[in-house]
Amino acid sequence: MKSLLIIEAKNSPEFLERLLRVCRHRGFTTTNINAETGNSQQTLHITITVASERNISLLTKQIEKIVGVKQVATLQQEKNIKATA
For binding to other proteins (CB under 8 A), which residues are involved?
14, 17-18, 21, 25, 55, 57-58, 61-62, 64-65, 67
> Residue 68 or 84: which CB sits closer to other proteins?
68
> Residue 34 or 57: which CB sits closer to other proteins?
57
Smallest separation, CB 37 to other proteins (Å): 17
> Residue 18 or 45: which CB sits closer to other proteins?
18
Smallest separation, CB 35 to other proteins (Å): 17
Smallest separation, CB 56 to other proteins (Å): 12
The CA-based dihedral angle spanning residues 35, 61, 70, 23, taken in that order and rounded to the nearest 10 degrees? -20
What is the number of other CB atoms lying within 10 angstroms of the CB of residue 48? 25
Amino acid at 28: F
